[in-house]
């Protein structure tokens, strides 16, 4: 049956066709009814569906729209086939296409349309989608007044996210010829002439003179560079949008009526007339925006839809003078709130971006360094806009010590429930409770108004916006169990729902730890928005404009320049600036309405104003008051050096404390937080960072802070477990805590230490009672009473021993069961069935907690017995044996802290032989070819062991690296982990040197520790790693460095044109982009975009990083290749193998990669247990300066060389590997990149990804099958 004869069936799947909606060159569109979900839908059937190109374009549209979830883009529900014909099911939009409106349209209505369409276009660009056919027929105004983008049939999908632009050519000059010299028919409707239509039937000629059947898109709306044959960009999409807006305002498109034969030349040569010249009534600012969109020079247009949206929304919502509150326009150390929105400057772009993110994403977390203004951006900008313009109901939460209670208290009024009831529901079932809340939001109607559209939107669902400020308090203040419940509840509340959104702020140095909390990790990776410090002109705006709003000016530009410079150079400069400005405002000349220049010097500059003020406050106190202030301030700092929040009862201990607290509050050093039941806290983290007096006090008590943190953690565990006696601290630990100021401790920590002391006292009383009984017996009745006392003592000791035996037997029974389950779990992990492995491991962990409790109880009973009779050697030996048993299990389980504690306790009771046994040397027998030289390596040192044959090596237990060399053979490094007293036999056969290609490392077969020994929250929630256990791996080859751009280009040059295009690296993200472009045959150009900076270099040229002081000049051909997909990596490996450049080449599996990175001992990073900025290319390496981020040449960081000799396995670029989680060999990225923190660069961290995903950070390191070794020659005697 031909395409023309085919008609879709009336019913198929769950759809029933109702009536045709439209018919065009590209296909048929029907209104249909979705019987499954009982809703109207639009169903599109393409014409010429038998044409492979048409089918491909159709599914491109489906994939393009499927990437988008935005209210200003038509939603796609399904793409499938019926009767061999593809169809697309999408949202049915009630309304009219823009080409059906009566033109011209009033400019204010066009502004509202422009804002909606720009939001949709910005969302598309962020998802890597270029529309390429923006025109009135492809946009609709819905019945509720919202504009939507339609028809992505010509869209192109660019992997990797947001499309960044290529380097723009020099700007064109506007045509200056007189208007009369332009074609007379310009902007005239010539019905009698051949004019341009959407798809012209005759060939059109592009700027390079090559006839083309048609350009992609509608010629009337195509940008000049499209006519020049250039590829589409987001700026060309913006040009099309500009022509659309021009047409709505002016009543005709600027080139409508131009004959097709002349259109290309006109568009490329002549500028579009200024809109204000044609439509005098249009607002000049709005006309200027449209004029900028339709500039011939792409570089003169807005750089992105996001930038355009900022300009449009500023037009739609101008500030009003009557919004300015009275009083000091600067907030000092307090955060801006909605009442101060008219005084909050410098963050328009960020506010707009965050508003759009919250509209589109269920959970958004604003991360940033302390002092960047995260809370102010949300409270003064984002939240008021969403409440006023989008109709959201705002609920504010600060987690504090009881985050679940805070969550329930905030949400209870909104959902009409009692706080206690809601808190208990969150604790019992956070997922179900959150689901009920979302349903509550969906059921209740509300009324909101669309700003600028003049259309009210009624009967919309009630919308809940949950704002969580200072999310890091889940780690710094909250009980860990409460924090986990809160995190689960928050993640559940933030699940995709049109009626519920979550917005949170968090300090960037706590993001990694927050990601470990259940439920938050995945959502954080998608919803994180990093807020950067203000700089340059935007700092100036925040300085000048609040004062100007009240008619006050700064005396000189020099004063403003100084403030800007000092703020940029001061760590956490923004709060310091705000405090300084508040003080400068108080020093203004009221009569002249001027802020004098000399006032800044009197304050001590931006860096000194706050500290001088704080010191003046203390200077006004007497000695007792100053000491009270010191104690109060120290109580308001946590053991981690962050702000604590304390009640008055916790702060006021001495008679002078209340007066000192009032002075600190009046001086704005301390604030009372009404949202937290009047609890007090230090006004801002800037005081912790910059106030030298407070820093001196903290340094003086620094030794106490480590102990204080251990007390806080132990007290929390003790309280959570029901305050059992066996979790109280021993006498030795209580002695460590003795220097702590008890008055500075929270009630829980004080109660924990007090309970420990009471337990010790009870033990001493029991001992004393026995001794008193003995003494009394001696004095009173002699032998008989002594015998009775001794008998009573023996009875008590026997009871303790019985209890110890019972607990120990129970511990050993549980341990045997745990060992069996543990072995089963590891077997499932090694069989690539991680799901079953995790189930078994969860059971093993539960048994482990029970085992540990019984072991602790046994130890406690034996210690009690020994305290009653310290002279009894048998008790000491029993206790030492028990501690040894526990120590060996802790070492096996890699519980380092527990092992260290048990080793210290064992030293107090051991007679000597146990410690000696634990230190028994391991014996290693080497099976290597005679003549092989063996070395032992540690760091940069190398010690000769000898030349084979060698006697057995005797080495201390632990990790070591053996190096092997032989004439004509490839060298090898063999990481080894030997247990105490263990006998190992290592067989190492070095392959011929000629069989190992340059740049490859031979790794012999051996065993190693795979996985993570971290807590399950970190291991599963962030690292995606299995529990640490021993794995044996066969020999393999691994590359010393990642694959470089130079090596990848050799691959590309050897491919066919179509395959070369498919494998060329390209990725765009919101802040970064990488593109490799073939500018001529076998001539390549590298483009790297970082923030506002674009680096471009051809082959032979170098890259210079602006913000770097070291490694600033780099050869990009030696960069690790990035922006390649896993499928690209497989193709590259196949090419290496096929061309014999690397026989047996393949992508490394995770066993191989992790063994090469960590060696045998389970270290955290290739360097060991620490990774600093000097070791690898990670986020802190170049000071986190925006224009210092970027890749380094491979091998630039030898300090992170792995135990087998591989470079850059931490940082620089993530590396594709083959997953061992299942048998499907799915892709996993390992090793971290140049923008990631050390946690992400852990050798255990695994990032699952899609095979087609491209990312500016992800590259590749090759592995290969080992060459077959030649037979070992016989030994010559």
Average pLDDT value for residue range 944-970: 93
pLDDT of residue 996: 95
CATH for 1153: 3.90.1580.10
Give exposure, 62-95, as e/b (b: 16+ Cβ within 10 Å).
bebbbbbbbbbbbbbbbbeeeeebbbbbbbbbeb
At 586-623, the pLDDT tens digits run 888 888 889 998 888 877 787 777 777 777 778 778 88
Tokens describing residue 23? 């018919």
**Residue 212 — very low, low, confident or very high, per pLDDT cuts 50/70/90?**
very low
Query: 642, 657, 687 — which closes off a domain?
Result: 687
CA-based torsion, 1139, 1141, 1147, 1151: positive or negative: positive
SS3 55: helix
Query: Does a structural domain hold residue 731?
Result: no
> How many CB atoms are located within 10 Å of the residue 908 CB?
11
Quote the pLDDT of residue 570: 65
Please indicate, yes or no, whether residues 83 and 137 belong to a single structural domain of this protein. Answer: no
Q: What is the largest CA-CA distance in the chain?
A: 135
**Residue 232 vs residue 605, higher pLDDT:** 232
For CA atoms 1041, 1044, 1050, 1055, give the dihedral sign: positive
Say how far apart CA 333 and CA 322 lie, in whole Å: 25
Indicate the number of domains in the chain. Answer: 8
**Domain membership flag for residue 433:** yes
Residue from 1074, 928, 1080 nearest 991 by CA: 928
Q: How far apart are CA 844 and CA 850, in angstroms?
A: 10
Residue 81 — φ and ψ, nearest 5°?
Answer: -135, 150
**Are 1109 and 1199 within 8 A, CB to CB?**
no
Higher pLDDT, 1038 or 1254: 1038
Average pLDDT of span 464-486? 86
pLDDT of residue 55: 73
What distances in angstroms separate CA 113 from CA 117, 143, 285, 1162, 1276, one per listed residue? 6, 13, 16, 58, 90
Domain boundary pick from 955, 980, 995: 995
Flag whether 1167 is in a domain.
yes
User: Which residues have C-beta within 8 Å of that of residue 420, sequence separation ≥ 6?
Assistant: 408
Q: What domain range includes position 648?
A: 620-687
**Same-domain status, 798 and 880:** yes
d(CA 254, CA 276): 13
* Tens of pLDDT, residues 1005-1025: 999 999 998 877 778 877 889
Pairing status of strand 1006-1010 against strand 1029-1033: antiparallel
How confident is the model at residue 452, as a pLDDT? 33
- Interacting residues of 75 by C-beta distance below 8 A, sequence separation 6+: 65, 68, 69, 90, 91
pLDDT at 739: 64
Q: What is the CATH number of the domain that holds 652?
A: 1.10.10
Query: Any idea what DSSP says for residue 298?
Result: G
* Same-domain pairing of 1233 and 1245: yes
> In angstroms, rounded to a whole number, what is the distance separating the alpha carbons of residues 476 and 474?
6
pLDDT confidence of residue 800: 87
Residue 497 near residue 362, CB atoms below 8 Å: yes
Percent of the chain with pLDDT over 90: 34
In this predicted structure, what is the pLDDT of residue 1173? 83
pLDDT tens for 751-795 read: 788 787 777 766 665 555 554 444 544 444 455 555 666 677 788
Say if strands 500-507 and 363-368 run parallel, antiparallel, or are unpaired. Answer: parallel
DSSP codes, 398-416: ---S-HHHHHHHHHHHHHT
**DSSP conformational letter for 32:** E
Q: Is the pLDDT of residue 1128 over 90?
A: yes
**Residue 168 maps to which CATH number?**
1.10.510.10
455 against 535, higher pLDDT? 535
Strands (DSSP E) contained in 564-626 are 594-595
1181 band by pLDDT with thresholds 50, 70 and 90: very high
pLDDT band at 47 (very low <50, low <70, confident <90, very high): confident
Residues 1094, 167: contact at Cβ < 8 Å? yes
C-alpha to C-alpha distances, 249 to 101, 109, 114, 253, 568, nearest whole angstrom: 12, 9, 11, 9, 43
Query: Does 359 map to a domain?
Result: yes
378 and 501 fall within a common domain = yes
Q: In this structure, are 407 and 287 located in the same domain?
A: no
> What's residue 185's pLDDT?
30
pLDDT of residue 426: 83
Chain segment 1244-1266, per-residue pLDDT in tens: 999 888 888 899 989 999 999 99
Region class of 1211: left (phi > 0), else alpha (psi between -120 and 50), else beta: left
Q: How far apart are CA 627 and CA 633, in angstroms?
A: 10
d(CA 1190, CA 1106): 11
Q: 1256 in a domain, yes or no?
A: yes
Distance CA 287, CA 280 (A): 10
Q: Please state, in angstroms and as integers, the Cα–Cα distance from residue 611 to each residue in 579, 580, 616, 905, following that order.
A: 10, 11, 9, 46
pLDDT band at 496 (very low <50, low <70, confident <90, very high): low
Is residue 709 one of the residues assigned to a domain? Answer: no
Q: Is residue 152 located within the same domain as residue 214? A: yes
Q: Is the peptide bond before 87 cis (omega within 30 degrees of 0)?
A: no
Task: Give the tens place of pLDDT for each residue, 244-276.
Answer: 999 999 999 998 888 877 888 999 999 999 999
pLDDT of 199 strictly over 50: no
Task: Give residues with Cβ within 8 angstroms of 765, minimum separation 6.
Answer: none
Q: Give Cβ neighbours of residue 438 (< 8 Å, ≥ 6 apart).
A: 493, 495, 497, 499, 500
Confidence of residue 706 (pLDDT cuts 50, 70, 90): low
Among 881, 900, 918, identify where a domain stops. Answer: 918
Is residue 953 domain-shared with residue 878, that is, in the same domain?
A: no
Distance CA 718, CA 728 (A): 7
192 lies in the same domain as 83: no
Give the DSSP letter of residue 996. S
Task: Tell me the C-alpha distance between 988 and 963, whole Å.
Answer: 10
Q: What is the DSSP string of 738-758?
A: TTS-GGGS-HHHHHHHHHHHH
Q: What's the Rg (C-alpha) of the chain?
A: 36
The per-residue pLDDT of the chain, averaged, comes to: 81
pLDDT, tens digit, 9 for 90 and up, residues 1096-1118: 999 999 999 988 999 999 999 99
Q: Using an 8 Å Cβ cutoff, are 595 and 603 in contact?
A: no
Report the CATH number that the domain containing residue 973 is assigned in CATH.
Answer: 2.60.40.1120
Tell me the pLDDT tens digit for each residue of 714-749. Answer: 777 777 667 777 678 777 677 667 666 665 666 677
CA gap 771, 777 in Å, rounded: 10
> Mean per-residue pLDDT for 1193-1205?
94
Tokens of 922: 């391991």
Per residue, the 3-state secondary structure of 1041-1109, as one string, reads: CCCEHHHHHHHHHCCCHHHHHHHCCEEECCCEEEEEEEEECCEEEEEEEECCEEEEEECCCCEECCCCC
Q: Is the pLDDT of residue 921 over 50?
A: yes
Residue 765 lies in a domain: no
Cis bond upstream, residue 261 (ω within 30): no
Neighbours of 321 (CB within 10 A): 9
Q: In what order do the strands lie in the sheet with 1066-1068?
A: 1066-1068, 1072-1080, 1083-1090, 1093-1098
pLDDT, position 171: 42
Give the model's pLDDT for residue 162: 42
- 912 and 927: one domain? no
> What does the pLDDT look like over 99-158, one tens digit per residue?
999 999 999 899 989 999 998 998 888 788 898 999 999 999 988 788 999 887 777 777
User: Does 1146 lie in the same domain as 1057?
Assistant: yes
Does residue 403 or residue 772 have the better pLDDT?
403
Which range has highest mean pLDDT (84-88, 284-288, 694-698, 794-798)?
284-288
DSSP structure class, residue 189? -
Poorest-pLDDT segment among 767-776, 974-983, 1237-1246: 767-776
**Between residues 989 and 556, which one has the greater pLDDT?**
989
Q: How confident is the model at residue 1091 (pLDDT cuts 50, 70, 90)?
A: confident
* Least confident window among 632-636, 671-675, 1108-1112, 1130-1134: 671-675
> What phi-psi label fits residue 257: left (phi over 0), alpha (psi between -120 and 50 degrees) or beta?
left
479 shares its domain with 580: no
299 CB contacts (<8 Å, ≥6 apart)?
168, 169, 171, 235
CATH number of the domain encompassing residue 23: 3.30.200.20
Same domain, 292 and 367: no
In a domain, 1260, yes or no: yes
Q: How many CB atoms lie within 10 A of CB 444?
A: 13
pLDDT greater than 50 at residue 961:
yes
Mean of pLDDT values over 155-175: 50
């Amino acid at each position: 049956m031909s395409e023309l004869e085919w008609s879709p069936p009336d019913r198929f799947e769950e759809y029933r066709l109702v009536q045709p909606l439209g018919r065009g060159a590209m296909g048929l569109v029907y209104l249909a009814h979705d019987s499954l979900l009982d809703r109207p839908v639009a169903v599109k059937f393409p014409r010429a569906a038998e044409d492979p190109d048409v089918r491909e374009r159709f599914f491109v549209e489906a994939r393009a729209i499927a990437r988008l979830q935005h209210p200003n883009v038509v939603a796609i529900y399904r793409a499938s086939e019926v009767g061999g014909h593809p169809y697309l099911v999408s949202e049915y939009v009630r309304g009219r296409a823009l080409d059906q409106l009566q033109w011209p349209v009033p400019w204010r209505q066009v502004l509202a349309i422009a804002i909606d369409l720009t939001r949709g276009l910005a969302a598309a660009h962020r998802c890597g989608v270029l529309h390429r056919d923006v025109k009135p027929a492809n946009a609709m105004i819905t019945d509720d007044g919202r504009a939507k983008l339609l028809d992505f049939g010509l869209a192109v999908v660019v992997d990797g996210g947001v499309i960044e632009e290529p380097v723009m050519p020099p700007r064109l000059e506007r045509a200056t010829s007189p208007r009369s010299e332009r074609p007379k028919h310009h902007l005239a409707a010539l019905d009698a002439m051949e004019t341009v239509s959407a798809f012209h039937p005759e060939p059109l000629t592009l700027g390079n003179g090559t006839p083309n059947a048609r350009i992609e898109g509608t010629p009337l709306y195509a940008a000049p560079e499209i006519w020049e044959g250039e590829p589409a960009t987001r700026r060309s999409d913006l040009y099309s949008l500009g022509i659309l807006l021009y047409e709505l305002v002016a009543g005709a498109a600027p080139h409508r009526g131009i004959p097709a034969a002349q259109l290309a030349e006109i568009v490329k040569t002549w500028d579009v007339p200024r809109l204000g010249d044609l439509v005098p009534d249009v607002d000049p600012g709005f006309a200027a925006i449209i004029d900028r969109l339709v500039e011939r020079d792409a570089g003169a247009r807005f750089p992105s839809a996001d930038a355009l949206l900022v300009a449009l929304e500023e037009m739609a919502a101008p500030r009003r003078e009557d919004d300015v509150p009275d009083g000091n326009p600067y907030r000092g150390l307090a955060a801006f709130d909605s009442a101060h929105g008219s005084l909050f400057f410098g963050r328009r772009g960020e506010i707009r971006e965050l508003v759009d993110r919250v509209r589109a994403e269920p959970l958004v977390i604003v991360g940033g360094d302390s002092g960047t203004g995260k809370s102010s951006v949300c409270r003064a900008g984002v939240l008021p806009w969403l409440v006023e313009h989008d109709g959201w109901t705002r609920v504010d939460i600060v987690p504090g010590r009881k985050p679940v209670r805070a969550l329930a208290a905030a949400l209870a009024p909104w959902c009409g429930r009692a706080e206690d009831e809601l808190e208990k529901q969150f604790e019992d079932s956070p997922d179900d409770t959150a689901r009920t809340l979302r349903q509550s939001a969906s059921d209740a109607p509300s009324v909101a108004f669309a700003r600028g559209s003049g259309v009210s939107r009624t009967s919309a669902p009630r919308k809940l916006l949950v704002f969580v400020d200072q999310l890091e308090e889940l780690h710094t203040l909250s009980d860990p169990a409460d924090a986990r419940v809160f995190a689960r509840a928050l993640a559940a509340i933030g699940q995709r729902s049109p009626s519920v959104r979550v917005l949170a702020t968090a300090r960037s140095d706590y993001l990694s730890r927050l990601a470990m909390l259940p439920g938050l990790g995945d959502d954080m990776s998608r919803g994180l928005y990093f807020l950067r410090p203000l700089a340059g002109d935007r700092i100036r705006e925040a300085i000048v404009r609040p004062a100007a709003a009240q008619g006050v000016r700064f005396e000189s530009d020099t004063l403003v320049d100084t403030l800007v410079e000092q703020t940029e150079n001061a760590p956490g400069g923004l709060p310091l600036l705000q405090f300084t400005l508040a003080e400068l405002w108080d020093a203004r000349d009221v009569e002249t309405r001027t802020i004098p220049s000399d006032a800044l010097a009197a304050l001590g500059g931006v860096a000194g104003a706050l500290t001088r003020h704080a010191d003046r406050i203390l200077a006004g106190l007497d000695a007792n008051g100053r000491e009270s202030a010191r104690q109060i301030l120290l109580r308001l700092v946590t053991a981690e050096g962050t702000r604590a929040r304390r009640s008055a009862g916790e702060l006021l201990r001495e008679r002078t404390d209340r007066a000192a607290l009032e002075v600190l509050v009046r001086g704005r050093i301390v604030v009372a937080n009404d949202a937290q039941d009047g609890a007090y806290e230090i006004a801002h983290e800037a005081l912790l960072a910059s106030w030298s007096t407070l820093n001196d006090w903290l340094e003086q008590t620094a030794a106490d802070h480590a102990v204080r943190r251990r007390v806080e953690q132990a007290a929390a565990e003790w309280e959570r477990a029901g305050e059992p006696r066996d979790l109280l601290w021993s006498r030795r630990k209580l002695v460590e805590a003795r220097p702590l100021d008890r008055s500075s401790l929270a009630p829980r920590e004080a109660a924990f230490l007090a309970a420990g002391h009471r337990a010790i006292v009870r033990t001493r009383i029991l001992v004393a009672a026995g001794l008193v009984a003995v003494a009394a017996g001696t004095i009173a009745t002699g032998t008989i009473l002594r015998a009775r006392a001794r008998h009573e003592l023996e009875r008590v000791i026997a009871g303790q021993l019985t209890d110890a035996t019972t607990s120990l037997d129970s511990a050993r029974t549980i341990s045997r069961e745990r060992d069996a389950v543990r072995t089963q779990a590891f077997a499932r992990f090694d069989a690539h069935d991680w799901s079953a492995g995790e189930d078994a491991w969860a059971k093993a962990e539960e048994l482990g907690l029970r085992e540990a409790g019984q072991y602790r109880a046994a130890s406690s009973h034996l210690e009690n017995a020994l305290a009653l009779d310290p002279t009894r050697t048998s008790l000491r030996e029993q206790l030492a044996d028990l501690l040894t048993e526990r120590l060996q299990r802790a070492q096996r389980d890699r519980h380092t802290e527990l092992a260290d504690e048990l080793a210290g306790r064992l030293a107090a009771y051991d007679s000597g032989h146990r410690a000696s046994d634990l230190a028994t040397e391991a014996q290693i027998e080497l099976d290597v070819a005679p003549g092989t030289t063996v070395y032992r390596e540690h760091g940069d040192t190398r010690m000769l062991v000898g030349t084979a044959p060698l006697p057995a090596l005797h080495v201390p237990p632990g990790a070591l690296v053996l190096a092997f060399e032989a004439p004509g053979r490839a060298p090898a490094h063999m990481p080894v982990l030997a247990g105490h007293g263990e006998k190992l036999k290592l067989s190492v056969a070095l392959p011929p040197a000629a069989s190992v290609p340059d740049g490859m490392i031979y790794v012999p077969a051996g065993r190693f520790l795979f996985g993570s020994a971290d807590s399950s929250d970190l291991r599963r929630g962030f690292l995606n790693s299995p529990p640490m256990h021993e794995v044996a791996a066969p020999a393999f080859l691994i590359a010393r460095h990642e694959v470089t751009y130079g090596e990848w280009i050799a691959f590309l040059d050897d491919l066919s044109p179509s395959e070369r295009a498919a494998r060329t690296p390209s990725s765009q993200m919101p802040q970064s982009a990488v593109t490799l472009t073939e500018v001529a045959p076998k001539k390549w150009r590298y483009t790297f975009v970082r923030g506002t900076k674009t680096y471009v270099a051809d082959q032979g040229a170098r890259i210079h990083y602006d913000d770097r002081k070291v490694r600033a000049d780099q050869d990009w051909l030696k960069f690790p290749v990035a922006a390649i997909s896993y499928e690209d990596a497989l193709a590259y490996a196949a090419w290496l193998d096929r061309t014999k450049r690397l026989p047996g080449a393949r992508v490394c599996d995770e066993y191989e990669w992790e063994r090469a990175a960590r060696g045998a001992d389970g270290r955290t990073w290739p360097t060991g247990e620490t990774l600093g900025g000097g070791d690898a290319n990670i986020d802190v390496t170049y000071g986190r300066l925006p224009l210092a981020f970027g890749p380094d040449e491979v091998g630039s960081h030898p300090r992170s060389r792995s135990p087998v000799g591989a470079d850059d396995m931490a940082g620089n670029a993530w590396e594709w590997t083959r997953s061992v989680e299942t048998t499907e060999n799915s892709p996993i990225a390992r090793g971290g990149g140049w923008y990631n923190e050390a946690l992400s660069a852990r050798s255990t961290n695994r990032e699952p990804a899609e095979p087609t995903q491209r990312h500016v950070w992800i590259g590749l390191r090759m592995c290969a099958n080992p060459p077959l070794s030649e037979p070992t020659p016989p030994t010559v005697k």
